[in-house]
A and B are shown apart, each in its own frame.
Chain A
Amino acid sequence: MSLRKIFNEARLMLLGIVIFIWTLIPIYHLFVMSITPRVETFAGALWPSRPTLENYETVVKQGHYYLEHFWQQLWNSAFVAVMVCAITLAIASTATFAISRLRVRGGRLVSNMALATYLIPPAFLAIPMYKVMGVYGLLNTQWSLILTMVTFASPYAIWVLKQYADKLPYELDEAARIDGASPLQIFRLIYLPLMAPSLVAIGTYALLLAWNEYLYAFLLLSADKDITLAVALGHFLTTDDAPFNVLMATGAVYALPPAAIYYVFRRYMVSGLTAGAVKS
């Protein structure tokens, strides 16, 4: 290896390390504050002098005014996220199957229009969406949030899934048709299994989009027992002396499920099941 090459790699490595640290600082901050006793909150130490788990205990035992419904709210977040994930997957997989595999007339238009919806930032649609939910009498129910999030997740899911679906060799469908499969059987027995990795990736996307949503959750839900954890976290900031340590501990708990999901499904995000289908 030439000196020049070593130098180049060292430069890239250095850049990588800087970005890595930059990314980790807020998370480190969150963690440190979550294990710092209340009295020391703003001591500014790199590591608390007396690390403690008392903040987590407060969270788990719902031992604070803002945390009275912690478990209920955690459940709400999970329920909303899982429903959004499931419905988005159902919509995106059937839509892309129709567009890409059954080649329904006008399918391309639909998938292009789906992408065009992203020209409008979701925040602009907050008030219209609020009205729509009001008209259907869904305000203050979790279904309003679920349907809203599905609306925002589906176009992107369809777009991405279509890219993958188009890559599946069309001969597989033709072979299956000749073998005697109906469109539904092709969907179930060929399409879904082969799209599984992309479906996991898209499902994760929808799940996390819903899990992390604040604006619409805040707008559409109000009862303490209905809101998601993201909104509950926001409530911490309504006073001047917010209990930051407890807030950070709650935040840490809130961040755990997404991290776990990424970790579990990291394999699917990269693997390609289609290897060997056709000679490349």
Chain B
Amino acid sequence: MASVSVEAVRKRYGALEVVHGIDIVIPDGEFVVLVGPSGCGKSTLLRMIAGLEEISGGIIRIGERVVNEVPSKDRDIAMVFQNYALYPHMTVRENMGFSLKLRGAGTSVIVEQVRRAAEILSLSSLLDRYPKQLSGGQRQRVAMGRAIVRNPQVFLFDEPLSNLDAKLRVQMRTEIKALHQKLKTTSIYVTHDQIEAMTMADRIVVMHDGIVEQVGTPLDLYDRPANLFVAGFIGSPAINLLRGTLRRDGGRNWVATDAGIDLPLGGNAGGKDGQAVVYGFRPEHLALGNDGGLPVRVDVVEPTGASTFVYADLSGAQICGVFTERHGFHSGETMHLMPQLDRVHLFDAGTGHRLVG
């Protein structure tokens, strides 16, 4: 096991730079998820760590060793690919034992290691099958088995679950996490699915257009998004964002929207009077206000059983609320909703940065 550190790493394809200087330090044993929209460069970064892409600038270390010029096979890493990349002409056993065989391990070592990995992943009964005789979930597990069989320093995953159906994805998510808790191998996991990131990560790295937007624990990112991008990317249903002007008058702070609504703020809000800001609150941080809250007209009500999603119109802006109590909303009715003041996020409208008081 080893730490991984990425220092000012850049990637250029010809004249086009797609990764613009990324710094991440991943301590030994941590499970880090790289998340971001399609095309943001997460696969590229992962592949540079794997040694499958050249590094155009910066330094990547695995443990103490700078690996910029070290070929993949000598980096002591294992990778799970989105499409599994199982060798179709080899049985599950041969697939899993391949790396050990290449490294010249003895037959007894290979047999023992494959047996151990197969047991961990419940693959023991499938060892003599060929990849084409396996279901998607089983192939996924074999790909994992191939990775864990030789005890690498680092596991790399590139969207390993995106080819599975929704139910299996949730199940494998749990399995991968359990596996990590058992093996404690440093892991870097790429996904564009923020739920996957939230549920699996010790720490999340949010990427966007080739830069890192924020690094933190899942709850950090959720509770204190550093900017508008992270606020909008993390959380489902998405955070409500309303544009307006910050007003300070004596001890009272509020945000005045262009539509003439005054959005309430707590006492410790940052920012200057007159500043253009974005006011954000998450759907579940809305309470039924009596007459004091924001007047909204309910458009759509979606009960899921556990909670109820309410989509409503606030003077032309659409907002979403999630309620765990069954209030009995009706579409068309007008009601008052109140954001929890200590859960309101304020961002500068120009830079998108979080304003702290």
Choose, from B18-26, B97-105, B265-273, the stretch at the interface.
B97-105
A177 contacts B72, C-beta separation under 8 Å:
yes
Q: Is B71 an interface residue (CB 8 A)?
A: yes
Q: Is B63 an interface residue (CB 8 A)?
A: no
Q: How many of chain A's residues have a CB under 8 angstroms from any CB in B? A: 24
Known: A278-B83, A278-B84. A178 touches B102 (CB 8 A): no
Choose, from A4-12, A65-73, A179-187, A256-264, the stretch at the interface.
A179-187
Mark interface residues in A254-279 (1 if CB within 8 Å of B CB, else 0): 00000000000000000001111111
A190 contacts B87, C-beta separation under 8 Å:
yes
- Inter-chain contacts of B146 with A (CB < 8 A): 175, 179
A172 contacts B85, C-beta separation under 8 Å:
yes
B88 contacts A174, C-beta separation under 8 Å:
no
A177 contacts B52, C-beta separation under 8 Å:
yes
Q: Is A209 an interface residue (CB 8 A)?
A: no
B99 contacts A180, C-beta separation under 8 Å:
yes
Closest to A172 in B: B85
Q: Which of B60-117 contact A (CB under 8 A)?
A: 71-73, 77-79, 81, 83-89, 98-99, 102-103
Closest to A170 in B: B85
Most buried by A among B71, B79, B88, B139: B88
Q: Which of B121-159 contact A (CB under 8 A)?
A: 130-134, 136, 139, 146
A181 to B133: give the CA distance in the assembly, Å: 25
Give A235 Cβ to nearest chain B Cβ, in Å.
47
What band does the interface of chain B fall in when counting residues whose beta carbon is under 8 Å from A?
Answer: 20 to 34
A193 to B71: give the CA distance in the assembly, Å: 25
- Inter-chain contacts of B50 with A (CB < 8 A): 174, 178
B81 contacts A174, C-beta separation under 8 Å:
yes
Please tell me which one of the listed residues A169, A177, A179, A190 contacts residue B83 in the complex, with CB atoms under 8 A apart.
A169
- Inter-chain contacts of B290 with A (CB < 8 A): none
A174 to B132: give the CA distance in the assembly, Å: 20
- Inter-chain contacts of B99 with A (CB < 8 A): 178-180
Please tell me which one of the listed residues A177, A182, A277 contacts residue B88 in the complex, with CB atoms under 8 A apart.
A277
Known: A178-B50, A178-B78, A179-B146. A276 touches B86 (CB 8 A): yes
Closest to A278 in B: B83
B81 contacts A185, C-beta separation under 8 Å:
no
- Inter-chain contacts of B88 with A (CB < 8 A): 194, 273-277
A61 to B163: give the CA distance in the assembly, Å: 66
- Inter-chain contacts of A180 with B (CB < 8 A): 73, 99, 102-103
- Inter-chain contacts of B131 with A (CB < 8 A): 276-277
- Inter-chain contacts of B103 with A (CB < 8 A): 180
A279 contacts B136, C-beta separation under 8 Å:
yes
Most buried by B among A169, A176, A180, A277: A180
- Inter-chain contacts of A276 with B (CB < 8 A): 86, 88, 130-134, 139
- Inter-chain contacts of B102 with A (CB < 8 A): 179-181, 185
Q: Is A241 an interface residue (CB 8 A)?
A: no
Please tell me which one of the listed residues A171, A178, A190, A277 contacts residue B73 in the complex, with CB atoms under 8 A apart.
A178
B87 contacts A172, C-beta separation under 8 Å:
yes
A279 to B139: give the CA distance in the assembly, Å: 9
A277 contacts B86, C-beta separation under 8 Å:
yes
Q: Which of A5-32 contact B (CB under 8 A)?
A: none
- Inter-chain contacts of B85 with A (CB < 8 A): 169, 171-172, 174-175, 277-278
B83 contacts A279, C-beta separation under 8 Å:
yes
A78 to B102: give the CA distance in the assembly, Å: 38
A279 to B279: give the CA distance in the assembly, Å: 44
Give A272 Cβ to nearest chain B Cβ, in Å.
10
Closest to B71 in A: A177
Give B71 Cβ to nearest chain A Cβ, in Å.
7
A279 contacts B84, C-beta separation under 8 Å:
yes
- Inter-chain contacts of A182 with B (CB < 8 A): 73
- Inter-chain contacts of A175 with B (CB < 8 A): 79, 81, 85, 87, 146
Closest to A192 in B: B89
- Inter-chain contacts of B98 with A (CB < 8 A): 176, 179, 189
- Inter-chain contacts of A185 with B (CB < 8 A): 102
A179 contacts B73, C-beta separation under 8 Å:
yes
Give A274 Cβ to nearest chain B Cβ, in Å.
5
A193 to B95: give the CA distance in the assembly, Å: 14
A44 to B131: give the CA distance in the assembly, Å: 59
Closest to A171 in B: B85
Give A16 Cβ to nearest chain B Cβ, in Å.
33
Give A207 Cβ to nearest chain B Cβ, in Å.
24
Q: Which of A48-95 contact B (CB under 8 A)?
A: none
Closest to A193 in B: B89
Give B5 Cβ to nearest chain A Cβ, in Å.
20
Known: A190-B87, A194-B89, A279-B84. A178 touches B132 (CB 8 A): no
Known: A274-B88, A275-B88. A174 touches B52 (CB 8 A): yes
- Inter-chain contacts of B51 with A (CB < 8 A): 177-178
A180 to B73: give the CA distance in the assembly, Å: 4
Mark interface residues in A146-185 (1 if CB within 8 Å of B CB, else 0): 0000000000000000000000010110111111111001
A70 to B146: give the CA distance in the assembly, Å: 57
Contacts A174-B85, A177-B72, A277-B85 aside, 15 further interface pairs with beta carbons under 8 A come to A172-B85, A174-B52, A175-B81, A175-B85, A175-B146, A176-B98, A177-B51, A177-B71, A178-B72, A178-B77, A179-B73, A185-B102, A276-B86, A276-B134, A279-B136
A residues sitting closer than 8 Å to B (CB atoms) are: 169, 171-172, 174-182, 185, 189-190, 193-194, 273-279
Report the 10 A-B pairs with minimum CB-CB distance, sorted nearest first. A276-B132, A171-B85, A278-B83, A179-B99, A277-B88, A180-B102, A175-B85, A180-B73, A276-B131, A193-B89
A-B contact pairs, 19 of them (CB 8 A): A169-B85, A174-B52, A177-B52, A177-B71, A177-B72, A178-B52, A178-B73, A178-B77, A178-B99, A179-B98, A180-B99, A275-B132, A276-B86, A276-B130, A276-B133, A278-B83, A278-B85, A279-B84, A279-B139
